[in-house]
Structure 1
Amino acid sequence: MLFNYNYYNLKMKIHFIGIGGIGISALAKYYLYQGHIISGSDLSYPVVFSKNELKNIKFYLGHKARNLEKDVDLVIYTSAIKKNNPELVKAKKLGIPTLSYPQALGQLTKNYFTIAIAGMHGKSTTTAMVSNIFIKAKLDPTVIIGSKVKGFGENKEPSNFRLGKSKILIIEADEYKAGFLNHYPDIILITNIEEEHLDYYKNLNNILKTFRKFIQRLNFEKNLGNLNKFRKYLVVNKEDKNILKIVPQSNFLKRIKVRFYSVKNKPKNLKLQVPGLHNISNALGALTIAKIFKIPDKVSFKALYEFKGIWRRLEYKGKINGAKIFDDYGHHPTEIKVTLQAIKELIKNGRLFIVFQPHQYYRTLILFDKFLNAFDDADFVILTDIYSVPGREKESIKRKVNSEILKEELSKKKNNIYYLKEFEKIEEFLRKNLNKNDICIIMGAGDIWKLTEKLIKSEK
């Protein structure tokens, strides 16, 4: 049952199932700041809300039918939960309208001039870059992003949500389970396309088909007053061969303008503080959108230079034995490779360590050969156990791949490959081996961040 958003301005009681997720929590914040009454549940205590935000949210630990009150107006749930979730089952039994997070975000995009940032890698960083440019240009956007950005939250705290006063909405458009096909964008930026989420898509061809459908979402017309003067735009990375396969044909281009960007066309006076060719590409994509809005380059360049990265994207955390420690969310071979390349350029006399927690057994198996080529720039590779993703794993797959097998195969290519099961053993290894001038990246989309926090806290 879908909710009638003609009444979205009325004060509602909204319950979020899986409220701690990085995307759905931003939507919960949106409705919280609009004055709605918010409740939510999750399997662990949410770390993405500020203390003040949590004071105004009725939070339930665990998923139980009794968490859902009968007078709730709307239930929004994460795509990660199963259909038999007790709260979702109760909501449907009571006739309470239910929306998945992608559906709910999609309904919101109807009411804004929406800039959607899509692609397998770089979405969060590019979304943050575009947002910072628009803020610097005083366009005051609302932002929903899959990471935390400094200055977005209360008292300038890092947050995955920013409430603006304009009718511009900047979102990170997630391709998982084709969720972005629920959105109604006015500008789409695609950073890159390659094999990912193959437990859902199965192959690259299905991914390309889905992105083609996403581009067609630009056809939806809205009544947004002065913002209607802007044409619909598709902004794409010219260097990505898979993107070029899906750029629409001429009959579509009469209504939609296409803008290409390329690292080959980097302005000489564009300076960044975030390293790597991939971040130059992200910045050029953001700059292309800024030009559509006729934002002066002087403003855009200043915003991009001041950008110092986002939460868990090559985030500097502190030092151990004089070695710099970075935390990173990367879990795909391409993300590992470009991150190591970027950091390698910064090292002068030290060594590059990476602690990697593979994320999901199926991803590790299906992209195994690509993982073998992802660590070439590292001097030391420490692997820990694969993070098992609830609801996305099969026992038959678990029997075919593990971190010990990955370690054995990597050891055939290069030296200094280690498998350490316990986080405590990894901590001991790092304290024993890290020296001044070394850099260590602790990487993964699971719970490896807990190791990073423990390491840094013990140094203070």
Structure 2
Amino acid sequence: MVKPNRIGEDRGVKRYSEAVGELTKKYYTIAVAGAHGKSTTTAILAKILIDAGLDPTVIIGTKVKEFDNHAPNNTEGSNFKKGDSKYFIIEADEYAASFLDYKPDIAIITNIDKEHLDFYKNEDRVRNAFKKFMLNVKPGGFLVLNNDNKNVLKLGLELAKLKRFQNKIKWFSLRNKAVENIKNILQIPGAHNISNALAALRAGEILNIPQNDILKSVSGYGGAWRRFEYRGSINGAKIFDDYAHHPTEIKATLLGARGHFPHSRIWCVFQPHQHQRLSLLFNEFALSFDSANEVILLEPYEVSGRENMRFAHRGHTRTEREHTQKFTSFNLAKKIDSRMKNNVYYIPYKSELVGFLKKYTAWGDVIIMMGAGDIWRITKELI
């Protein structure tokens, strides 16, 4: 008997990453990898190349309004742009080590973090996968690496010492002189987005695009779908959608929002993504919401095919039940509440959330609907 997920392989059909990997061998490929910031960095870089007349083909993990897929009534854009040049820009996802199928000419690493532990099991395996990816760069190619991330810095220095490593490394950092130039023109808030823009700038420089042209492109970048995306308002409160679903991303997004709206009451409505991620990073999640005034936690979004069953609310043994009862949104709310002076709410039913926000939010507030699941559907109900 052939298992369903093996049917394609047994018939010689390539996996998505394998098919894209074949394209990376034929084009001048720039692959953007990292635990966080991949989509934003890819989108900014795509804009830089498009504005420079290089007409790249782009595959990205979010929708970009400027990428028109010609679908009727489409206002959100597309995650794909077909270009007519040798340049190919891709967002390189590390989940299931799929990015190891790619052979880029330029590889950007935004950061390395404890992410996708359902697959990698520990951070050492995550780092090892990124090291292999960095060694996949074609001869004569470039690595664009984040000097501010300890994992990236360590791997970059290790590779530089290898005799068989012949490629060049270009570093970027929030300590670079270019930071002030980026900070003054970037429309999207947060130090993490300045870092993303710096990564794109370094790649643009490798392609000999003048820095003034790069900065002009960066200044015109207005964001992508669900990346601190302004969606509308209720009661005079501004509503933003954001994809953050990892503690590092939550903290960075809320810090950016606080810097952008220093005097506003910030509401963070968070839908955890996977019971397993919530369990493995439970303590880190509890430390991620300090920049918010009000925190609302929803039930976790279950990802079909990726949930280890003992982490979902379906355990049958006593040990499984005890485990799932410990790492829940309700208990996370209690843990956050024990250390925060601000208000923390657990609202298990989405139907209650809309009424709650309409009742208690006010003019001048900022509401951030956060998570990688279907929380964006609730945003549509709010506006």
TM-score, L = length of structure 2: 0.90
Task: Select which of 248, 266, 270 maps to 1:334.
Answer: 248
* TM alignment of 1:172-183, pairs within 5 A: 172-183=91-102
User: Structure 1 residue 144: deviation in Å?
Assistant: 0.3
- Give the 3 Å change call, closer, same or farther, for CA 266–440 of structure 1 in structure 2: farther
Equivalence for 2:359: 432
Residue 403 (1) aligns with residue 340 (2): no
Q: 1:254, 1:182 → 2: CA distance?
A: 19
Equivalence for 1:236: 145
AA of the residue aligned to 1:244? L
AA of the residue aligned to 2:356? F
Between the two structures, name the one with larger relative contact order (CA 8 Å, sep ≥ 6): 2
AA of the residue aligned to 1:351? R
AA of the residue aligned to 2:217? A
Equivalence for 1:162: 81
Equivalence for 1:263: 174
Task: Report if aligned partners of 1:356, 1:444 keep a CA contact under 8 Å in 2.
Answer: yes
Residue 142 (1) aligns with residue 68 (2): no
Residue 245 (1) aligns with residue 154 (2): yes
Equivalence for 1:193: 112
Task: Report if aligned partners of 2:62, 2:79 keep a CA contact under 8 Å in 1.
Answer: yes
Residue 452 (1) aligns with residue 379 (2): yes
Equivalence for 1:412: 338
User: Structure 1 residue 251: deviation in Å?
Assistant: 3.7
User: Structure 1 residue 396: deviation in Å?
Assistant: 2.3
Task: Report if aligned partners of 2:46, 2:89 keep a CA contact under 8 Å in 1.
Answer: yes
Question: Identical aligned pairs, as a percentage?
Answer: 46
- Deviation string for 1:193-229 (max 9, x for gaps)? 010110111111111111111111114x6xxxxxxxx
- Deviation string for 1:90-130 (max 9, x for gaps)? x56xx743111111111111110100000000000000011
Residue 204 (1) aligns with residue 123 (2): yes
Q: 1:253, 1:133 → 2: CA distance?
A: 32
Q: 1:142, 1:120 → 2: CA distance?
A: 23
Q: Which moved more, 1:204-213 or 1:244-253?
A: 244-253
User: Structure 1 residue 346: deviation in Å?
Assistant: 1.9
- Give the 3 Å change call, closer, same or farther, for CA 349–269 of structure 1 in structure 2: closer
- Deviation string for 1:57-113 (max 9, x for gaps)? xxxxxxxxxxxxxxxxxxxxxxxxxx8338x63x56xx7431111111111111101
User: Structure 1 residue 358: deviation in Å?
Assistant: 0.3
Task: Report if aligned partners of 1:191, 1:236 keep a CA contact under 8 Å in 2.
Answer: yes
Give the paired residue count: 360
| SS across alignment from 1:263 | coil
- Output the aligned Cα RMSD: 1.7
Q: 1:84, 1:354 → 2: CA distance?
A: 42
Q: 1:264, 1:244 → 2: CA distance?
A: 14
Q: 1:254, 1:327 → 2: CA distance?
A: 41
Task: Report if aligned partners of 1:350, 1:436 keep a CA contact under 8 Å in 2.
Answer: no
- Give the 3 Å change call, closer, same or farther, for CA 322–266 of structure 1 in structure 2: farther
User: Structure 1 residue 254: deviation in Å?
Assistant: 5.9
* TM alignment of 1:48-447, pairs within 5 A: 84-85=3-4, 89=7, 91=8, 96-154=11-69, 158-219=77-138, 231-247=140-156, 248-252=159-163, 255-267=166-178, 268-270=180-182, 271-398=185-312, 399=321, 400=323, 401-414=327-340, 415-447=342-374
User: Structure 1 residue 348: deviation in Å?
Assistant: 4.2
Identify the structure with the greater helix proportion.
Answer: 2
AA of the residue aligned to 2:181? N
Equivalence for 1:60: none
| SS across alignment from 1:264 | coil
Task: Report if aligned partners of 1:113, 1:185 keep a CA contact under 8 Å in 2.
Answer: yes
Q: 2:191, 2:219 → 1: CA distance?
A: 15
Task: Report if aligned partners of 1:359, 1:444 keep a CA contact under 8 Å in 2.
Answer: yes
| SS across alignment from 1:218 | coil
Q: 1:116, 1:238 → 2: CA distance?
A: 18
| SS across alignment from 1:392 | coil
| SS across alignment from 1:275 | coil
- Give the 3 Å change call, closer, same or farther, for CA 252–164 of structure 1 in structure 2: farther
Q: Which moved more, 1:387-396 or 1:254-263?
A: 387-396
AA of the residue aligned to 2:99? F
Equivalence for 1:74: none
AA of the residue aligned to 2:155? I
User: Structure 1 residue 252: deviation in Å?
Assistant: 4.6
AA of the residue aligned to 1:119? G
AA of the residue aligned to 2:119? Y
Q: 1:371, 1:233 → 2: CA distance?
A: 35
AA of the residue aligned to 2:172? Y
